[in-house]
């Protein structure tokens, strides 16, 4: 198992001179070792004080990286928030179908007419106190259809959150194994750069002995310079890969982590039949398209329900009297009378004319329904095509891995043998240069092929929901 390590180190140097300068150095090479802090002869002296901050690297597996990315991904968290909001919309639509209970308190003052009555006939007395509970229920077919529509919309939002989650898997896997591949490329570049330096020393020694021409030494030096530049590029590539990965998974930027999964670990490819069955059951794109059709069906039903009457029921219990008391007094007889009482109201509303607004809403909903059915049909066709395409990609990259690995082994052996032949005077410097170039290309192709297979497996996960990448 290859473990990528980056040790981050910060040095803060403060100079007690006329001007103060702040230097911050970060060591990012995979093989770099932290510098030991300089000893201080006197803490109060004017010499620079060096502070070294070092922490243990964070071990990150692929599953850990996925969990961290889900917490910190803006796109994924936005889809989760949308799904949560849609769930609350569904709860609100459901609650609107249930009986509502409220308690009302009200005081009404009305100017009297000096005859014991009131000037405003809509009010019952000069002083009127209302304190009563109300149970209200509305039976509306449109509200029921709207609840079904909102429920389908919540299912669509959940499916889209799942789509975002699976898409994040591909991004994380690509970056994760990209870092591991960059480390392998750096190791190969370091080894090949060493081979180039040793070959340069060999040609220089042979030139001094008069065994090879000066042109061989020049060619070896040019080749060694190229290998050193490739080493620097590999170091830069690893740094950039690690920084991009750190931004993806960590809430606070850091690059002090260790990747624990093995890029070269063997991962079996499931059969095409398994992939097709899992995709038929778990594909979120297909589920989202299907729920969208259900949502538009409910939207059409809700629009058509506006042609139907609606029924409202209300039950009141409490006080509606000239005195704010449970019992009152009849002003005519002086007898005690109860103020507590109840009443019930039933209303039936028939829609008659709204200038064609209901017909327009029905037509609008039918247009949405037609488009949703087209998208469902497209999603089904697209799923079948993606299964075959992504599976072929994974199968091809897997079949190529063995050949790429063998090519890397052969290139390394060829480079070793060619160098020995050159040392024995049986090969030219161009053959050595070609063998080194072939080794670099073969090694890089093998690392890229391994990443390609792992990413192809992650792409299959977007269809099946089964994470097969280690």
Better-scored residue on pLDDT, 389 or 113: 389
Q: CB count, 10 Å around CB of 141? A: 17
Report yes or no: 62 and 470 within 8 Å, Cβ to Cβ.
yes
Closest CA to 443 of 398, 395, 396, 410: 410
Res 138: pLDDT = 87
Q: What is the β-pairing status of strands 49-53 and 10-14?
A: antiparallel
Q: pLDDT digit string (tens) for 245-296?
A: 999 999 888 888 999 888 877 788 888 888 888 888 888 989 899 999 999 9
pLDDT tier at 467 (50, 70, 90 boundaries)?
low
At residue 3, the pLDDT reads 36
Q: Shortest CA distance to 408 belongs to which of 352, 446, 365? A: 446
364 band by pLDDT with thresholds 50, 70 and 90: very high
Higher pLDDT, 27 or 241: 241
Residue 363 structure tokens: 């037509």
**Residues 57, 61, 63, CA angle at the centre, nearest 5°?**
140
User: Would you state the pLDDT for residue 50?
Assistant: 37
> How confident is the model at residue 429, as a pLDDT?
87
Which single residue is written with the structure tokens 């192709």? 445
Residue 14 has pLDDT above 50, yes or no: no
Residue 346 or residue 210, greater confidence: 346
Decide which of 45 and 369 is more confident.
369
User: Can you tell me which residue has the tokens 């409910």?
Assistant: 298
The span from the CA of 222 to the CA of 230, in Å, is 12
Nearest to 148 by CA among 375, 303, 362: 303
| 98-110 pLDDT per residue, tens | 999 999 898 888 8
Kindly write down the DSSP assignment for every residue of 99-117, as one continuous string: -EEEEEEEEEE--B-SSSS
> How many other C-beta atoms lie within 10 A of the C-beta of residue 216?
21
Burial class of residue 243 in the structure, from the number of CB atoms within 10 Å of its CB (0-12 exposed, 13-18 middle, 19+ buried): middle
Percentage helix, strand, coil for the chain under 3-state DSSP, each rounded to 5:
60, 15, 25
Q: What is the pLDDT of residues 446-457, one digit of tens each?
A: 999 999 998 998
Closest-CA residue to 299 (of 372, 357, 351) = 372
Please tell me the predicted confidence (pLDDT) of residue 35: 38
Smallest CA-to-CA distance from 404 within 209, 299, 264 is with: 264
Per-residue confidence (pLDDT) for residue 116, from 0 to 100: 67
Rounded Cα gap, residues 307 and 354, in angstroms = 10
Tokens found for residue 230: 């490739």
Handedness of CA 140, 145, 150, 151 (dihedral sign): positive
Task: Label residue 462 exposed, middle or buried (CB < 10 Å: 0-12, 13-18, 19+).
Answer: buried
pLDDT beyond 50 at 193: yes
Q: What are phi and psi of 156, to 5 degrees?
A: -60, -45
Give the pLDDT confidence of 405-436 residue by residue, as tens digits: 999 999 999 989 998 998 888 888 889 889 98
203 has a pLDDT exceeding 70: yes
What pLDDT, in 10s, does the model give residues 235-255? Answer: 999 999 999 999 999 988 888
Top pLDDT among 460 and 47 is at 460
Asked if the 99-139+309-350 domain carries CATH number 2.20.200, the reply is yes
Confidence of residue 29 (pLDDT cuts 50, 70, 90): very low
Q: Where are the domains of the chain?
A: 99-139+309-350
* Pure H helices in 209-264: 214-249
Quickly state the pLDDT bin for 393 (edges 50, 70, 90). very high
- The Cα 464–Cα 459 span in angstroms is 9
Angle between helices 357-423 and 272-282 (to 10 degrees): 150
3-class SS at 310? strand
Distance CA 242, CA 252 (A): 14
Q: Is the pLDDT of residue 51 over 60?
A: no
Mean pLDDT in the chain? 83
């Amino acid at each position: 198992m290859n473990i990528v390590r980056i040790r981050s180190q910060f040095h803060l140097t403060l100079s007690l001179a006329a001007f103060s300068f702040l230097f911050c150095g970060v060591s990012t090479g995979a093989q770099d070792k932290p510098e030991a802090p300089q000893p201080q002869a006197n803490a109060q002296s004017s010499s620079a004080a060096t502070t070294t901050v070092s922490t243990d690297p964070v071990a990150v597996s692929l599953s850990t990286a996925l969990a961290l990315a889900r917490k910190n991904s803006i796109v994924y968290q936005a889809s989760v928030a949308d799904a949560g909001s849609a769930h609350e919309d569904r709860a609100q639509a459901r609650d609107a179908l249930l009986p509502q209970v409220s308690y009302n308190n009200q005081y009404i003052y009305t100017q009297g007419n000096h005859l014991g009555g009131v000037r405003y006939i809509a009010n019952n007395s000069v002083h009127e106190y209302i304190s009563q509970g109300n149970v209200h229920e509305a039976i509306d077919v449109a509200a029921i259809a709207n609840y079904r529509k909102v429920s389908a919309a919540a299912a669509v939002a959940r499916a889209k959150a799942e789509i975002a989650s699976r898409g994040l898997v591909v991004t994380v896997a690509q970056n994760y194994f990209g870092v591991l591949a960059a480390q392998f490329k750096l190791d190969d570049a370091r080894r090949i750069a060493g081979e180039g330096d040793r070959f340069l020393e060999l040609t220089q020694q042979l030139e001094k002995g008069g065994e090879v021409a000066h042109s061989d030494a020049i060619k070896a030096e040019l080749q060694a310079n190229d290998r050193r530049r490739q080493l620097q590029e590999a170091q830069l590539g690893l740094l950039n890969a690690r920084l991009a990965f750190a931004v993806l998974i960590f809430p606070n930027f850091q690059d002090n982590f260790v990747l624990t999964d093995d890029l070269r670990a063997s991962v079996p490819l499931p059969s095409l039949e398994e992939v097709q069955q899992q995709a038929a059951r778990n594909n979120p794109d297909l589920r989202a398209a299907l729920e969208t059709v259900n949502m538009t069906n409910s939207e059409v039903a809700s629009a058509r329900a506006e042609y139907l009457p609606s029924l409202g029921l209300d039950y009141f219990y409490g006080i509606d009297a000239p005195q704010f008391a449970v019992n009152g007094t009849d002003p005519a007889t002086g007898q005690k009378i109860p103020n507590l009482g109840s009443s019930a109201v039933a209303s039936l509303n028939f829609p008659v004319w709204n200038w064609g607004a209901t017909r327009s809403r029905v037509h609008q909903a039918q247009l949405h329904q037609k488009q949703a059915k087209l998208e469902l049909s497209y999603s089904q066709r697209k799923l079948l095509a993606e299964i075959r395409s992504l599976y072929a990609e994974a199968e091809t990259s897997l079949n190529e891995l063995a050949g790429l690995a063998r090519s890397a082994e052969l290139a390394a052996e060829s480079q070793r043998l060619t160098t020995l032949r050159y040392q024995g005077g049986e090969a030219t410097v161009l053959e050595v240069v070609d063998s080194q170039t072939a080794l670099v290309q073969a090694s890089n192709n093998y690392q890229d092929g391994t990443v390609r297979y792992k990413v192809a497996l992650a792409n299959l996960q977007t269809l099946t929901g089964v994470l097969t990448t280690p």
